[in-house]
Amino acid sequence: MKNKRRLVALLTACLLLVSFCAFSALAEPEEAAMTEVVTDVNPEIAPAAAPGSETPMLLAAMPDEAEKAADTADAAAAEDVAVLTVGAEEEAEEAAADLTDADAAQEYVDSYADNLENDPDFETNIQTAIATVRESVKSYATVLSLLPAIIAILLALITKEVYSSLIIGIIVGGVIYAGANFRGIMVHVVQDGFIASVADSYNIGIIIFLVLLGALVAMMNKAGGSAAFGRWATKHIKTRTGAQLATILLGVLIFVDDYFNCLTVGSVMRPVTDGHKVSRAKLAYLIDATAAPVCIIAPISSWAAAVAGFAKSAGEANGIRLFIRAIPFNFYALLTIVMMIVLAVSKFDYGPMKKHERNAIDNNDLFTTGTKQAVEKMEVNEKGRVIDLILPVIILIASCVVGMIYSGGFFGGDNDKNFIGAFSDSDASVGLALGAAFTIVVVTIYFLLRRVLKFKDLMECLPDGFKAMVPAIMILACAWTLKAMTDSLGAKIFISQLIEGTAGSFQMFLPAIIFAIAVGLSFATGTSWGTFGILIPIVLSVFQANNPLTIIAISACMAGAVCGDHCSPISDTTIMSSAGAQCDHINHVSTQLPYALTVAGVSFVTYILAGVLAGTGLAVIALPVGIVLMIGTLLIVRGATAKKA
């Protein structure tokens, strides 16, 4: 079935390309004819613009006051009056005629949000600017501007392939923009799309951070710090509840990257949880639930950098500040942590997980069903110590914070010695890249001095880290390019005009709807980042910056993407969590799904509440209410399952 879906996607792309090539060939004679017409007309236009025509125009524009002044022999005064009058008229005409120029019109629509707030004649001017842009891009700011994103979403749902879906969406965007001109399609997709997006200084900074982060993760794993922590934890953790809480704590501490989390927590905590008869299915759930849900609320992480990058490319002035403001409304991530703690402390489970946990306790069978050994044991560096895991993470956090406030002008800039202002105005790509680069240097020197790894081994971690981050970089590049395609077609303007003044009271339910859409898309594709890339720009275009629902809607987008990724059997983090826990993958998916759906249901209700309260300024109340609802729901489930037992 999967192969058929992939075949459908590939055939669709091929048919599109073949069709547009044919249309391009048919359109070439028309383009040549248009060139001839322009050539014929130009000689007629040239005389009209002859220098001699300027004097009659100036005299015609001269007012009566200037003529009267000339009659009284005050020639100098008359000339001054005439020049001033003509200058005022020309300035007024220039203001109205600017938007008939293609470049000026494009600049005006690109600054849609600013002009909406500052231009008193916005309604008239925006229509003029759009009409001018449509002379070259006929589908600009129409429903067709949404077609690339819609096709990408539908193909992702059908094929469950995020890469091919995004690429086909990008091609469709190029076709709509350039029409039947094959060369124009290629230039717009490759040069204006991929190359321009990846070459953007902000985006390059994000990519550098990801590569350096991957290298750092590889160094920490090879140094043996994870194994050392596991040995320490085995001696100090005495109870079954303590083993689960320690797993949660380690997962929360390793927040810099979900891949690092999955690769580390399983190998570190598996001996500890095995000793206290915690099933492998439960361990896999704890690993998965502290991977993406924790990274999405950590300001210094690969996820924060990605979200900031998507928001920045969508026109947000400071993507990292938007991310931080959205953390209190990321209900799925926060409620997932609450649920894990409640389940561990109250010592109860439900659904398929209950069977696995009971079998582990009663029969010392950690697997219950499925494959007993999902992966081979990882190599262990006996020289590793706990500090080899903790110190690099601490250095990374500290150096990234310093790098970000440096980029925000904390050290002698506009926000000199103003930490909050500097952090708010920071450039995430610069700050994170500087912090990661500094960390790599310090950690390399540290491991060499400790003689844990040889210089050759450390250098091998650099390409290994890059290879680990290739999927993430590919998704980012495609998502950035798809965003460039929809921007060039005026999707933001179309959505803004569609929503503005028509949504009314319905807007309060949009965060919950956005959450549900993100869950479905992320579940089908198995990727949160692809969902971010498609939905975040659309969400930012729907809500203005001063709309109280903007932050809640962005949070709903991120939370829904993480929820769908958490549930999806084809998600990389889900698969890696199964491998890290050495748990059968089907067991992990089937036992985790009821837990994830429980949190998703409570989150959906909480987003409705937050949307209703947004206009009153009391949206912050939604989180404590959601926590109470989460705990209450679990208590009800516990009572219901106890009666059945």
Contacts 24+ apart (CB under 8 A), 617-622: 617/548, 619/329, 619/548, 619/552, 620/328, 622/329, 622/331
Phi–psi pair at 121, nearest 5 degrees: -105, 35
Q: Is the pLDDT of residue 81 over 70?
A: no
For all residues of the chain together, what is the average pLDDT?
Answer: 78
Express each pLDDT in 564-606 by its tens digit: 988 888 787 888 888 778 888 888 988 999 999 999 999 999 9
Which of 374 and 514 is assigned the larger pLDDT?
514
pLDDT at 93: 44
Express each pLDDT in 454-486 by its tens digit: 999 999 999 988 887 887 788 778 888 888 898
Band the pLDDT of 189: cuts 50, 70, 90.
very high
Which residues lie closer than 8 Å to 203 by C-beta, 6 or more apart? 197, 309, 313, 429, 476, 480
**279 three-state secondary structure:** coil
Q: What is the largest CA-CA distance in the chain?
A: 116
Q: Is the pLDDT of residue 26 over 50?
A: no
Same domain? For 208 and 163 the reply is no
What percent of the chain lies above the pLDDT cut of 90? 27
Q: Is the pLDDT of residue 53 over 80?
A: no
Same domain? For 450 and 561 the reply is yes
**Among 197-211, 312-326, 328-342, 407-421, which is the least confidently predicted range?**
312-326
Which of 206 and 329 is assigned the larger pLDDT?
329
Total structural domains in the chain? 3
Residue 610 lies in a domain: yes
Which of 381 and 21 is assigned the larger pLDDT?
381
Do 588 and 284 meet the contact criterion of CB atoms below 8 Å apart? yes
Band the pLDDT of 555: cuts 50, 70, 90.
very high
> Where is the domain boundary, 183, 199, 215?
199
> Where is the domain boundary, 147, 166, 199?
199
Please compute the mean of the pLDDT values over residues 36-65 and round it to a whole number: 39
Q: Is the pLDDT of residue 73 over 70?
A: no
422 to 398, 404, 416, 546, 567: CA distances (angstroms): 15, 8, 8, 21, 38
Kindly tell me the burial class for residue 580, based on how many C-beta atoms sit within 10 Å of its own C-beta (0-12, 13-18, 19 or more). Answer: buried
Q: Is the pLDDT of residue 85 over 50?
A: no
Distance in angstroms (rounded) separating the CA atoms of residues 18 and 15: 5
Same domain? For 240 and 264 the reply is yes
Residue 108 lies in a domain: no
Which of 111 and 243 is assigned the larger pLDDT?
243
Residue 243 lies in a domain: yes
Same domain? For 630 and 519 the reply is yes
Same domain? For 186 and 302 the reply is no
Same domain? For 183 and 300 the reply is no
Name the most confidently modeled range: 193-197, 218-222, 527-531. Answer: 193-197
* Closest among 304, 306, 364, 366 to 330, alpha carbons compared: 304
Distance in angstroms (rounded) separating the CA atoms of residues 349 and 639: 11
Same domain? For 170 and 210 the reply is no
Same domain? For 305 and 328 the reply is yes
613 to 71, 235, 326, 607: CA distances (angstroms): 72, 49, 16, 10
pLDDT at 50: 38
Residue 555 lies in a domain: yes
Please compute the mean of the pLDDT values over residues 4-22 and round it to a whole number: 46
Residue 121 lies in a domain: no
**Among 123-132, 275-284, 437-446, which is the least confidently predicted range?**
123-132
Domain that holds residue 9: 1-49+137-199
Same domain? For 218 and 194 the reply is no
**Among 315-319, 386-390, 506-510, 568-572, which is the least confidently predicted range?**
315-319
Tokens of 399: 């150096």
Question: Is the entire prediction scored with pTM above 0.95?
Answer: no
Same domain? For 62 and 37 the reply is no
Residue 157 lies in a domain: yes
Same domain? For 172 and 281 the reply is no
**484 three-state secondary structure:** helix
Same domain? For 426 and 326 the reply is yes
**Among 30-34, 490-494, 541-545, 636-640, which is the least confidently predicted range?**
30-34
Band the pLDDT of 41: cuts 50, 70, 90.
very low
Q: Is the pLDDT of residue 30 over 80?
A: no
Please compute the mean of the pLDDT values over residues 427-450 and round it to a whole number: 91
pLDDT at 125: 87
Residue 119 lies in a domain: no
Band the pLDDT of 304: cuts 50, 70, 90.
confident
Residue 127 lies in a domain: no
